[in-house]
Amino acid sequence: MGRVTGKTAIVTGASLGLGRAAAMLLAREGARVVLTDLRRDEGAELADRIVSDGGEAIFLAHDVAAEEDWRRVIASAVSRFGGLDILVNNAGVALSAPVEDTTLEQWRWLMSINLDGVFLGVKHAVGAMKAKGGSIINLSSIEGLIGDPNLAAYNASKGGVRLLTKSAALSCAKAGYRIRVNSIHPGYIDTPMVTAYADAQPDPKAARVAIAALHPLGHIGEPDDIAYGVLYLASDESKFVTGAELVIDGGYTAQ
């Protein structure tokens, strides 16, 4: 316990799935957590749960594609808790379609959240952290490392997150800011996004079995598998880690 005691963290997309698991673990390990999402009811419920469990948390409605929202959220975190030490850029959406069937509107919508949102978070978090340092953790995907014939826009967005992370890490290091920037690349994790994908198939149960079989470890991952990676990168235990890719995928990309 206490691996991030005294630190303030913003977690985007915190209401469900990976963001929820990361926010809860950071709070249990001592962080003051600012939960952000467009799902207001779930976000407020999670903040109340963390507080009732003895942690510190607030919820803020937040459109990650809107720069003014980023300014407001970071200013609120600094005002409420005295600074910003950790940013977890987790909010994201998916679209299953090959490139020829992806419309420009769909492409721009997905990029505005998955890539623009991460860019805005990194940009404004650096401004808030550069005086004393911090850790920025960007959620990419195995789909930011490999291609998929039906994930054209998603592949592009997550690949963009991977290289944006490296550029920002080098920029901060060169400037002497003591801000570390890293990406996490999950395999298929048991989240609402993966459930929705399986449920959209003709046989959802068979789809889940097939997804599990893609991983050499033989099963779909759990949200806490990613949350512990977030915790490591958020803590001072990873003080010599920047510009790195933490792949948590059950062996998927090792094949």
Residue that the structure tokens 């803590």 belong to: 235
Neighbours of 187 (CB within 10 A): 23
* Residue 154 a catalytic site member: yes
Distance (Å, whole) CA 69 – CA 61: 9
Residues 189-203 as b or e (16 or more Cβ within 10 Å = b): bbbeebeebbeeeee
Separation CA 183–CA 88 (nearest Å): 10
Contact status, residue 36 vs residue 62, Cβ threshold 8 Å: yes
Choose, from 154, 177, 188, 252, the residue flagged as catalytic.
Answer: 154
Expressed in angstroms, the distance from the first to the final Cα of the chain is: 35
SS3 for 137-178, per residue? EEECCHHHCCCCCCEHHHHHHHHHHHHHHHHHHHHHHHHCCC
Angle at 188 between CA 160 and CA 240, to 5 degrees: 55
∠ Cα 163 170 243 (to 5°): 55
Which residues belong to the active site? Answer: 154
